[in-house]
Structures are given as C-alpha cells and as structure tokens.
Amino acid sequence: MSLYYVQKLLYQINRDEYALNRFQTDFDSFLTEYDLESDEINALRQADIGLLYVMGVNGQILMHFAAMSGYEWNEYLDAMRQGLNEHGPVRAGLYATVWS
Amino acid sequence: MSLVFAGVCSHGPGITGRADRANPDSRERLYASMDRLRTTLEEAEPDVLIVVAAEHFANFFMDNMPAFCMGMAMNYSGPIEDEQWLGIDQVTIPGAERLSEQLIKSVMHDVDLAYAQEWKFDHGIMVPLHFLTPKYDLPIIPVNINCQGPPLTPLNRCYEFGRALRRACDERPERIAIIGTGGISHWPATPDSGKINEQWDRDFLDHFIHNRRSELTAYSDEQTYLEAGQGGFEIRTFVAVAGATEGATGELWFYEPIPIFAVGATVAVMSVD
C-alpha cells in the first residue's frame, strides 16, 4: 500500500488544473507517474470514497476529490461510513495512528 | 508601531459553504460576532494583517513540509477550493512583499522559518478574510503552521514563534494586525464531522484568554487526537497568537458548537496594550 502517493496524487489534482485535466483525460498515463498498487488505482478510477478513506487518505484531501467527483457533503460523509462498514477500520495514516 | 490588533476565529468551510443548513439563530450570532471583529480590526487602522493559519494540504505536502512558513509574495489568490463548494468567489489578495521580507529576516533569528512567494489560500484563510476584509483591500501576510501532517510543530515552538513574530513586529513602524484561525476540538472531513467536545474547548479557551503558557503548551498530540480529534491540532494557531501577546489577556466574544460547521465556532480578541 502506497498511501503517500495516493495522497500526493489527490493533493496535486486538488490544486493544479493541468494535473486534474490529465487525471480526467489521460488517467492511465498520468497514474504511471505515481507508485500505486492496483487496488489504489481502481479506487481512484472509481472515485471510491469509502475505500480511499479506509486506505487512510486524509479527509482534508479526500473531501475535495469527493466534491469534484459529484459527492454532496452528506453523501461524502455517508460514503466514508459505508467504507468502514464494508472494509473495516482505517488501515494507515493519521486515523490509524497508534500513539505511544 | 507593532501590533494594533490580535484575535482568533474559526475558519471551517461550512461557515460559508453550508451556511444555509445551520440553525439560523446560531449562524447569525456567529456572523454578528465576526462583524464585530471586523469593525474592531478596522478601527485599529492596520496597514497589514498577518493571518496565522493551519492550511489543509493546499500548498504544503509531506514531500517538503515546513514547521512554519510565511508568505513573501506581492499577491495571493484564493480560494483554492471550488467557489460554489466554499461559497466564496475567486479573488486576488494583495500581499506586503517588503514587510514580509523584513519580518521573516527578523523572525529567523529565533525560529527556523520557511518562506513562500507563491501561495493559494484555502478555506483556512479565505473564510476569515471573507468576514474581516470583505473587499480584500488590506494587504495580507499568511503564516502556516503544520497542524496536519505529523510530526507536527511542537506547541512550545508555536508559542516561541508567536513571541519572535511579536518582537519582529515591534521593530517595524507599520501598524500590524494578527489573527489566528483554526478549530479547537473537531473531526473535520471524517465520518465524525460535526462532533465537538465543548468542555475541552472551553477549558482550552480559558487557558488561551488568560494566556497561560504552561497549560497551552502542555497538550500532547495523543491527548488532543483522542479528546479533540485531528482538528484539535489546529490549536497551534491560537498558541502562536498567545505567544505574540505574551503577558496580556483577552476576551472570548463568541463560542458555540455548530455541528454543520464542524466546529465550536469561536471569536476572541487579545489585548495588545
């Protein structure tokens, strides 16, 4: 799992129109520039907000991708809840941090 | 001249983007308090407004995350978010390039500080400006503290940054205002969005208003995360303002949990006398 690169890709398309255009029109080529695994690529392709949240994508990054993918605010929150129900707890990142 | 105004306020994107879904009485009470803050800021006749913010992966990412960064641009733009989503139109905002450089050079003597000549404002700055400088005609100097990507900036360093910023302001002839923007307890953009720990917020605000340095800087990240959510990490912006007003106290003008805004909405000022 390469959470860092999933988040980096989303960070870049959230802030850069050129990157967003490539994501939307040249998806396969664009994603070769990131070290992603097949389940991550599928989640991004399908804008699977629930799975991306469970993978550990920070909500401050994810909420903008959700909005650009057509999720209304409550739909966005429900998608994350559904992801937890379907896939279990968040696997990595801030929300899975084990504090010591 | 140094500081002529110091305050803090919330910046949740729902404050503007989901305004129609809030309890109207709560929303109008918050808006009235923000209006009072704007009036007080204007009466202070500042030449520039420093906004100490907790941006959310709009300009800074984990490939090169500064603990502190200060803007040094002629102009800024924002919001980086969709206008409809945030409820704020795209604008260009004047900077204060020369003063930024002077302040940065001075602060650097005490605190390691990155600077940026490009900066796209996200809701963390745009929501406060929407209320405080609605004509976007007051030059802005943005500051970011890493409140998002652990390892986070330590709280004691945030207080020290505030002190260094105040010392740098004291060296300048300009009339300088400072506003810190952040949530207190909140779980933004997660399935728990809307959850607010009111007692935690009120305890923190009491420490802030009385500028109790030892209490303000004693929160561990673990404690904050467990009791106040990841949004609680944004107390760093308040702590920096407390550092910039060390020895002074303040007044809490507004605090009310507003779940659709995902924060305990807050407005407060600190004395700069």
Q: pLDDT tens, B67-86?
A: 999 999 999 999 999 999 99
On the question of a cis peptide bond just before residue B150, with omega within 30 degrees of 0, the verdict is no
pLDDT band at A97; cut points 50, 70, 90: confident
Structure confidence by residue, pLDDT tens digits, B8-25: 999 999 999 999 999 999
Interchain CB distance below 8 Å, A58 and B148: yes
Q: Which residues of B132-141 are buried (b: 16+ CB within 10 A; e: fewer)?
A: bbeebebbbb
Q: Which residues of B246-260 are buried (b: 16+ CB within 10 A; e: fewer)?
A: eeeebeebbbbbbbb
Q: How far is A48 from chain B (nearest CA, A)?
A: 15
Q: Tell me, yes or no, if the pTM score tops 0.90.
A: yes
Structure confidence by residue, pLDDT tens digits, B87-111: 999 999 999 999 999 999 999 999 9
Interchain CB distance below 8 Å, A58 and B226: no
Interchain CB distance below 8 Å, B81 and A97: no
pLDDT above 50: residue B153? yes
B66: left (phi over 0), alpha (psi -120 to 50) or beta: beta
Interchain CB distance below 8 Å, A14 and B57: yes
Q: Cα–Cα distance between A35 and A2 in angstroms, integer?
A: 7
Query: In chain B, whose CA is at the least distance from the CA of A11?
Result: B57
Residue B77: helix, strand or coil by DSSP?
Answer: strand
**DSSP annotation string for A17-60:** HHHHHHHHHSHHHHHTTS---HHHHHHHHTT-HHHHHHHT--HH
Q: Cα–Cα distance between A94 and B8 in angstroms, integer?
A: 26
pLDDT for res B178: 98
Spell out the domains of chain A, with CATH numbers in brackets: 3-96 (1.10.700.10)
Spell out the domains of chain B, with CATH numbers in brackets: 10-256 (3.40.830.10)
Q: What is the mean pLDDT of residues A65-91?
A: 96
pLDDT above 90: residue B194? yes
Q: Cα–Cα distance between A5 and B233 in angstroms, integer?
A: 23
Judging contacts by C-beta atoms under 8 Å, the chain A residues touching residue B221 are 99
pLDDT for res A1: 62
Length of chain A, please?
A: 100
